Amino acid sequence: MFEEDYKRRFVFGSDYGTSDYKYGPITLGERPAVIENRGYLPERSMVSKILGVEKDIVVGKDVAYFLESGADLSSRMIYPMRDGVVAKSDPTAWRVIKELTKFSLEEFKPSGFGFKGYYIVASLSAIAPRYMYENLINIYDEISRETGLIHASTIIPQPLAVAIAHKELSCVVVESGHGNTQVAPISRAPIRDAIVALNRGGSEANAITAEVLKDSGYGDLAKEESLVRRVKENLGLLPLNLDEAINYAKRNPEHVRAIYQVPGTRIKIDLAEYSWTRFLIGEYVFDPNHEIFQSYFKRGMPRPSDTRVGDITFYGMLDMAETIIRAVERCPVELQPHLYSHIILSGGNFMWRPVSTMKGIAVDSQTKLQHMLRDKGLENVNVRLSPEPQYAVWRGCIVYGYAIPANYRWEWEKMEGWVYHTK
């Protein structure tokens, strides 16, 4: 009984997203801490050594203080995950994952007597191969021995964490983050044979945003990935119907025009007569097949391509609604109506804001996707957007860790349970 009470006090969620790492203990309540899933390899210098800040890998908010010239960023900035997967033979990427995990645990290290380490619940992409589970558990073993901050650990797929957070264990979870989009039908557990993945996510929205910036005269700023992402989040719009939205924007340019002031700088980004391109940013994630995107492909922007990761094919050009239909139709016919009536959207890539002055023109993700599914002949569908969708996975980790018994030991056959680590 003591161990069960201890576990519930010290559950720690770790959501390893391709772009952001969300983390923190149960005591945070509704929102986790968030840092970018990246690490920086600073150049060794005598000044850093004298000041006592010499490090092999820098993670978290300190990265900004170590950045050197732009030319060095591409070789020294390490983003460990590609489409939710860390390459097996990439030791530097795994070192970044370890440092991020240590950083997060140390940030919330309790000072009270009796702490013997967290019960950490990690969440990985639904298509993460088994070696990622093995490597992550080995990393937790190392951190436990080095710091004593981990007592036990477990790992669950991100879509399952979303379903748990919403108390829906028969549903379709559409988890769309920076690297990819996973459509996972769930019936008490993800139906792995029915998972359909897209090779599109927030990074593709960033790519079209960079092209929009170039066309608008901000080519120099389009090279800075973090700035491009902020422009996407502040200026990007999701159209209900792209053709109608573009026509509206060209007839009412002042209604669509917006200016983004980069915080802490004198830089103002004004798309001016190109403000209609704001609608391209959201549309590209949901459906890149519109003819207007062909001009960008011809000018050199990479077309989203099909790619293979393990036994999963990531589709490049499949639209979001068709992706859901393919996933659901891989399930038993009797289950399909129930799945269509419980579609949950999760992930930062679904955080498109409707605009009250453009009602029916610029919409949110659930309105857009419900419209797309009905256009394909599905009337009895119910799509809902998770409240604060970028945090749904982390919340599911916390709920799962709180509920799963402390005496339930890890089983590789089921891929569930607690792994206890030695100090």
pLDDT, tens only, 313-340? 889 999 999 999 999 999 999 999 999 9
Half-sphere exposure of 385 (CA within 13 A, CB side): 20
Per residue in 129-147, pLDDT (tens digit) is 899 999 999 999 999 999 9
Give the model's pLDDT for residue 13: 97
> Is residue 177 in some structural domain?
no
Are 149 and 298 part of one and the same domain? no
Are 32 and 97 part of one and the same domain? yes
Instruction: For residue 359, count CB atoms less than 10 angstroms from its CB and return exposed for 0-12, middle for 13-18, buried for 19 or more.
Output: exposed
Give the model's pLDDT for residue 73: 54
> Is residue 192 in some structural domain?
no
Check which CATH number belongs to the domain holding 91 and give it. 3.30.420.40
Instruction: For residue 237, count CB atoms less than 10 angstroms from its CB and return exposed for 0-12, middle for 13-18, buried for 19 or more.
Output: buried
Burial 113-149 (b: 16+ CB within 10 A, else e): eeeebbbbbbbbbbbbbeebbebbbebbeebbeeeeb
Per residue in 66-123, pLDDT (tens digit) is 655 444 555 678 888 877 889 888 999 999 999 999 999 999 999 877 899 999 999 9
Q: What is the pTM of this model?
A: 0.85
Listed in order, strand segments (DSSP E) in 169-254 are: 170-176, 181-187, 196-198
Helices (H), 148-190: 158-165
Contact 21, 4 (CB under 8 A): no
Contact 181, 175 (CB under 8 A): yes
Per residue in 340-367, pLDDT (tens digit) is 999 999 988 999 999 888 999 999 999 9
Are 119 and 66 part of one and the same domain? no
Round to whole Å and give the CA distance between 21 and 389: 14
Are 249 and 135 part of one and the same domain? no
How is 317-381 classified by DSSP, letter by letter? Answer: S--HHHHHHHHHTTS-TTTHHHHHT-EEEESGGG-PPP-GGGTTTB--HHHHHHHHHHHTT--S-
Give the model's pLDDT for residue 69: 45
- Label residue 65 by pLDDT band (50, 70, 90): low
Are 126 and 214 part of one and the same domain? no
Round to whole Å and give the CA distance between 122 and 177: 16
Average pLDDT of the segment spanning 262-269? 92
Are 222 and 334 part of one and the same domain? yes
- Label residue 233 by pLDDT band (50, 70, 90): very high
Angular region, 102: left φ>0, alpha ψ -120 to 50, beta rest: alpha
> Is residue 178 in some structural domain?
no
Query: Whose CA is closest to 277, among 262, 259, 292, 297?
Result: 292
> Is residue 188 in some structural domain?
no
Are 277 and 407 part of one and the same domain? no
Query: Whose CA is closest to 274, among 297, 255, 250?
Result: 250
Round to whole Å and give the CA distance between 271 and 274: 5
Given a cut of 60, whether residue 174 has pLDDT beyond it is yes
Give the model's pLDDT for residue 57: 82
User: Domain tally for the chain?
Assistant: 3
Are 350 and 411 part of one and the same domain? no
**How many other CB atoms are there within 10 angstroms of residue 295's CB atom?**
10
Query: Whose CA is closest to 280, among 219, 250, 249, 237?
Result: 237
Give the model's pLDDT for residue 40: 83
Are 413 and 373 part of one and the same domain? no
Given a cut of 90, whether residue 64 has pLDDT beyond it is no
Are 346 and 249 part of one and the same domain? yes
The token duo for 197 is 């993945």
Residue showing tokens 């389009």: 222
87 CA to centre of own chain: 18
Helix (H) or strand (E) holding 285: helix 278-286
Q: Which of these three, 78, 103, 132, is where a domain ends?
A: 78
Contact 174, 344 (CB under 8 A): yes
> Is residue 361 in some structural domain?
yes
Are 48 and 25 part of one and the same domain? no
> Is residue 173 in some structural domain?
no
> Is residue 165 in some structural domain?
no
> Is residue 341 in some structural domain?
yes
- Label residue 242 by pLDDT band (50, 70, 90): very high
List the domain range (segments joined by +) for residue 236.
Answer: 197-385
- Label residue 49 by pLDDT band (50, 70, 90): low
Round to whole Å and give the CA distance between 243 and 4: 57
- Label residue 290 by pLDDT band (50, 70, 90): very high
If you average pLDDT over every residue of the chain, what do you get?
90
Check which CATH number belongs to the domain holding 259 and give it. 3.30.420.570
Given a cut of 70, whether residue 386 has pLDDT beyond it is yes
Contact 49, 410 (CB under 8 A): no
Give the model's pLDDT for residue 71: 44
DSSP state of 199: S
Are 230 and 311 part of one and the same domain? yes
